[in-house]
Amino acid sequence: MKAALLAATLAAAPVAPAAIPPAASDVGSHVVVIAVPDLRWADLEVMPRLRSWASTAAAGELSVKTANGTPRCADGSLTFSAGDRANVDHEFEGCALSRSNFLLQQEANKSGKFAAELGAFGQALADAGISRAAAGAEATALLADTSGRVDRSVDLDHALSSAQVVALVDDELYEVPTTARPSAANSLDFILGTQLARIPATTTVMVAGTSDGLRTQMHLHTLLIRGPDWRHVALRSPSTRAPYVQLRDLAPTVLSMLHVPIPAAMVGRPAYETGVAVKSPAAYADDDDHAVTARFVGQRVRAVFAYAAILLLGLFVLGWRRPDARRAATVLGTFAVGTPVCSFLVQVLPWWRWNSWAYGGLVVAGGAAIGAACLLARRRSRTLALAIGPTVTAVILIVDQLTGARLQLSAPLGDNPIVAGRFHGMGNTDFSLMCASMLICAALAAAALRRVDRRRLGLAIAVGLCVVAIVVDAAPMIGDDFGGVLAMGPAAVVLVLLLAGVRLTWRRIVAVALAAIVLAVGVALIDYARPAHEQTHVGRFVGEVLHGGAGSTIRRKLDASLTSFKSVALSLLVAVVILIVVAARRQVAVTLRRVDGLTEAAVALVVLAVLGTFLNDSGVVVAGTVILLAVFAAGAAALLPTRNDGSGGSSP
């Protein structure tokens, strides 16, 4: 809303006013929502009035992910309105939507991948008899009901005197270039300060950065709530289980303030106060910088790892005939085997405050340290050298999950709060690394004990390691990874059966698949049985299955999985592996037989990679990650066959 809105009354509005509703709810609360597209915590540095107001408000970091692409102003308003991710389905750059356009977007979003119901928020208020007023044309989409109407469209003063819920949009930051941002933020501070001063102290006010800017990339944004019932503490939401709130949580939060039932169509959950102190604006801005930098670095790091694995595979092929290629493969594998887990471990340092080269240097240095351990182990045993990398990887990632997954969020290969796929637990990349590592370790441990006639103990250890991996990955309060159960469960069972010498038949394969499904359903039902505010996405999915909505979730996951194959590096890595296995089956078999248990591990890894790819929305990322870990570990153990290997007998 422009500064002129402070003194002007709009004579007309794009969204037609509805009839005056029945008397407002006997709940006496009044709420004002001030949407400020692209408001970030860094802006508060030059906004003393807002910073002062925020010093007594509840505060949080807001992820504004909508249905597609970078969220713009109208996208954010529609997502707020629906309590679910929504988008304008064409190139619309403004904030104000006419009623006819709102209704067109409503139809488009109903058939979209999130099946968002635009107007759910306004309709819930109307059904509860709570009056609404949009202070300016830009705010009408925030409060419109399912027919595209709002109660009134007036200036702020009139709205405050006539409605229980008021919304307005201040878009002074939305279109400004980066160079003019400090000046625009300072001007906005005066406007916000004037508006906030005019709102009664008994009214609850929500100030939220509801979208990114017209020309900016994706960021985390500011969320502030101040009112009689809100303390100066950090906010979070059940939808994140982390110190973040999503844009789709804001409408449910307002409804919760007013004791209005949250519509079933809303996926968001009310934000709540924690016992955690509010951080400084600078600290929140640092979190935003961390997330933005991680997205930028992550795309490049993943490609580097994939191309390094492809290079190593090429050296493997050449190494069949050329000793120098074998030596080069061993050197590369030794340096690379620890780098995937070090890309997470480096999170203990504030690497995002430096540059991408510093991050790369830290990852390589950590990988070299783990590679040195592989080098020393290789002098004693090829098996031990093969186990070092996966063991270190599994231990670090498991300990991280058990201590709150601090290495995961905003890691270049982890989950990112800006993308808002998940905010806690085990993401698909560290799931792939951890589970692949545990399968390798379980196979090598069982085979080593089998050689000294301790077969049962070896099998027990293998089972134990696999169970640990499944629990850490799938338990709702730890990894909370539903798809991981469906992938790791069958892979673990296949591994144990092979280690026990059981022949895999189609009947047994089907039995394994059914057992995995039963286990996954059991975990999901346990989660669903918990109170709604404690459920994870697994329990909420069960609710969708039972009450409707699961179809859109499944279609969205499948679409994301197929889209992942646009990753050229990872798709190429998978294709190269398939080509090598088909064209050089004998050499691959010889290589695997050089270490006892490695053939069984390879079969289990194939199961993990295939199921993980098609049962997780990260798709080819899972298969690519499993492959690159296995290839790096093989290189570190110098597992290249020579021309004189013959049958390739086992090696200790």
In whole angstroms, what is the distance from residue 555 CA to residue 425 CA?
23
* Collapsed DSSP state (helix, strand, coil) of residue 396: helix
What DSSP character marks residue 33? E
Confidence band for 78, pLDDT divided at 50, 70 and 90? very high
Per-residue model confidence (pLDDT) at position 444: 96
Residues forming CATH 3.40.720.10 domain(s) in the chain: 30-279
- Residue 405's φ and ψ, nearest 5 degrees, are 55, 45
In whole angstroms, what is the distance from residue 209 CA to residue 38 CA?
5
In whole angstroms, what is the distance from residue 366 CA to residue 387 CA?
17
Does residue 20 have a pLDDT over 90?
A: no
CATH of 30-279, one of 3.40.30.10, 3.40.50.2300, 3.40.50.10190, 3.40.720.10: 3.40.720.10
Contact 44, 84 (CB under 8 A): no
Contact 184, 3 (CB under 8 A): no
The mean of the pLDDT values for the chain is 87
Lowest pLDDT segment from 299-303, 362-366, 432-436: 299-303
The pLDDT > 90 percentage for the chain reads 64
Cα dihedral: 461, 463, 469, 473 (round 10):
-160
Contact 295, 256 (CB under 8 A): no
Per-residue model confidence (pLDDT) at position 254: 97
In whole angstroms, what is the distance from residue 26 CA to residue 129 CA?
9
Considering only CA atoms, which of 361, 496, 354, 341 is closest in space to residue 433? 341
Side-chain-side CA neighbours of residue 191 (13 Å): 24
Which of residues 555 and 443 earns the better pLDDT score?
443
Structure tokens at 646: 């013959």
Does residue 180 have a pLDDT over 70?
A: yes
Mean pLDDT within 490-504: 90
Structure tokens at 533: 């505010």
Considering only CA atoms, which of 393, 395, 396, 374 is closest in space to residue 385? 374
Rounded-to-5 percentages of helix, strand, coil across the chain: 60, 10, 35
Confidence band for 261, pLDDT divided at 50, 70 and 90? very high
Mean pLDDT within 59-70: 93
Does residue 647 have a pLDDT over 60?
A: no
Considering only CA atoms, which of 455, 425, 458, 424 is closest in space to residue 441? 458
Mean pLDDT within 491-513: 86
- The whole-model pTM stands at 0.87
Lowest pLDDT segment from 16-20, 198-202, 226-230, 421-425: 16-20
Tens of pLDDT, residue by residue over 299-320, are 899 999 999 999 999 998 888 7
* Collapsed DSSP state (helix, strand, coil) of residue 100: helix
Please state, as a whole number, how many other Cβ atoms lie within 10 Å of the Cβ of residue 19: 6
Confidence band for 425, pLDDT divided at 50, 70 and 90? confident
Confidence band for 243, pLDDT divided at 50, 70 and 90? confident
